[in-house]
Amino acid sequence: MSDFNLSNLGFDQQHIWHPYTSAIDPLPCYEVSGASGVNIELATGEVLIDGMSSWWAAIHGYNHPVLNHAASKQIEKFSHVMFGGLTHQPAIDLCRKLVKMTPSGLDRVFLADSGSVSVEVAMKMALQYWACQGAAEKHKFVTVRNGYHGDTFAAMSVCDPVNGMHSLFSDVLAQQLFAPAPQTRFDQPWNEDDIAPLIDIIETNQHNIAALILEPVVQGAGGMRIYHPEYLRRARQVCDEFNILLICDEIATGFGRTGKLFACEHAGISPDIMCLGKALTGGYLTLAATLCTEDVALGVCQGEPGVFMHGPTYMGNPLACAVANASLDILMQGDWKQQVINIGSQLKAELAKCKTLDTVADVRVLGAIGVVECKKAVDVAQIQKSFVENGVWIRPFGKLVYIMPPFIIDPSQLGKLTAAIYQALK
Ligand SMILES: *Cc1c(COP(=O)(O)O)cnc(C)c1O
């Protein structure tokens, strides 16, 4: 087959994998020619208002002058050097900032190259920690249903086993322990029964559990569910009581998205290990981090082999660290707080009327996250087309039509997003 005469989109369809797509019957893709602020420009000339922040990442918008400057300044010095035996200012600055801004006690930073890898690293840390304490039988993980932690093997083993994308692999995945997903909504009165099944599992299996892993307060790709912070506070207590580690996966929730810098802050807790990614570089480059306490770090390095056994080739990539530093500096100026409050109140006001549609099962909002859950799975290709025709970029999955726009979006742009959702579901 001669591919040389194919158009861009034709070549793309025949030769390029996209996330979760078929090679036989691929969904249509839209070619992007530029992006700036909250706009994504298509090669066909249309300009779309972005509702996704490119999967939670582009919190300051695209083509940001400060981030651009940080990238070009660093690229003129050096883009990358190995992190084994070498270190550099961009990584040191970044880790200083992360230690300072994250919940107390998270004092050691492992720089990873994607969210999934940071989850692998967190799980390996927990396993190695117990093995080095002479408790190698503590090798299972407990989690809640409807979670999503990434696409690599350890991460897949703690994703929701049914609605997760990975049930096909269940025979080869490590068998973990699953409690029901938290049911009490963020603003409902707390119901202690909600956490009873988790406590039960932990009590029964405490001698075999390395850690509890969960997404604090907002479950992302496993269902866009928002739950009561008391669940998290109780989970912290139960982990302490039964001597298991707590891993909080803040890859989606971190850096202001839920209205707090980190979702753990809604519950006033610190985990033993925390995963960060997605918005870390403001959506510019792939970079993630796994932070842990001094106790975990020292525990991991006691006895044999005496070192933590992980080290990606591109660990601590200076270019990515430099952009992450600039992104965190923008966050530290503090404008995000009011921006997220404003986005949240507008989302609450404008998405409320979707509840009146008989195709809609639920509407929920926290921080700069708006979710409309439909009664049935939406036809992605068709709804995507209608969104593009309406000048917005929103990418639903399953029954969920949801937005988490860049923090810099203005009220009229956000109004176009919410109107397009109502229009499409009506
Ligand atoms: C996106 C995500 C991951 C995986 O991150 P990648 O960078 O896609 O590997 C893990 N956990 C959560 C909560 C996420 O939202």
CA of 56 to the centre of ligand 1 (A): 10
| Residue closest by Cα to atom 5 of ligand 1 | 115
Residuewise pLDDT in 10s, the chain (426 residues): 556 778 999 999 999 999 988 999 888 899 999 999 999 999 999 999 999 999 999 999 999 999 999 999 999 999 999 999 999 999 999 999 999 999 999 999 999 999 999 999 999 999 999 999 999 999 999 999 999 999 999 999 999 988 766 678 888 999 999 999 999 999 999 999 999 999 999 999 999 999 999 999 999 999 999 999 999 999 999 999 999 999 999 999 999 999 999 999 999 999 999 999 999 999 999 999 999 999 999 999 997 889 999 999 999 999 999 999 999 999 999 999 999 999 999 999 999 999 999 999 999 999 999 999 999 999 999 999 999 999 999 999 999 999 999 999 999 999 999 999 999 999
Distance (Å, whole) CA 264 – CA 274: 10
Q: Which of 56, 117, 148, 276 to mutate to test the pocket of ligand 1 (most atoms within 8 A of CB)?
A: 148
Ligand 1 atom at shortest distance from the alpha carbon of 55: 1
* Cis check: omega of the bond before 305, within 30 degrees of 0: yes
Pocket lining: 149 vs ligand 1, CB cutoff 6 Å: yes
Q: Name the phi and psi angles at 247, rounded to 5.
A: -110, 120
Pocket lining: 148 vs ligand 1, CB cutoff 6 Å: yes
Just list the catalytic residues: 20, 148, 249, 278
Three-state secondary-structure class, residue 6:
coil
Pocket lining: 283 vs ligand 1, CB cutoff 6 Å: no
CA of 30 to the centre of ligand 1 (A): 23
CA of 364 to the centre of ligand 1 (A): 21
Instruction: Give, in order, the Cα–Cα distances in Å from 232 to each of 159, 200, 270, 410.
Output: 18, 16, 10, 33
Pocket lining: 150 vs ligand 1, CB cutoff 6 Å: yes
Residue 256 half-sphere exposure toward CB, CA atoms < 13 A: 28
CA of 1 to the centre of ligand 1 (A): 37
Ligand 1 atom at shortest distance from the alpha carbon of 152: 9
Distance (Å, whole) CA 267 – CA 229: 5
Nearest residue to 123 via CA among 199, 197, 176, 182: 176
| Residue closest by Cα to atom 8 of ligand 1 | 115
* Helix boundaries (H) for 242-334: 294-300, 318-332
Provide the pLDDT for residue 165. 63
Pocket lining: 120 vs ligand 1, CB cutoff 6 Å: no
pLDDT digits (tens, 9 = 90+) for 120-171: 999 999 999 999 999 999 999 999 999 999 999 999 999 998 876 667 888 8
Strands (E), 37-162: 39-42, 47-50, 106-112, 140-144
pLDDT digits (tens, 9 = 90+) for 304-319: 889 999 999 999 999 9
CA of 115 to the centre of ligand 1 (A): 5
Within 8 A by CB and 6+ apart from 215, the residues are 147, 148, 149, 222, 248, 249, 250, 251, 252, 253, 263
Write down the residue that tokens 């249509």 correspond to. Answer: 28
| Residue closest by Cα to atom 15 of ligand 1 | 252
Within 8 A by CB and 6+ apart from 383, the residues are 396, 401, 424
Distance (Å, whole) CA 303 – CA 276: 28
Within 8 A by CB and 6+ apart from 411, the residues are 342, 346
Calculate the dihedral angle through the C-alpha atoms of 320, 218, 372, 197, rounding to the nearest 10 degrees.
150
Q: Which of 55, 59, 119, 213 to mutate to test the pocket of ligand 1 (most atoms within 8 A of CB)?
A: 119
User: What residue type is 135 in one-letter code?
Assistant: A
Strands 288-293 and 273-276, sheet pairing: antiparallel
Provide the pLDDT for residue 27. 86
Provide the pLDDT for residue 1. 52
Ligand 1 atom at shortest distance from the alpha carbon of 119: 10
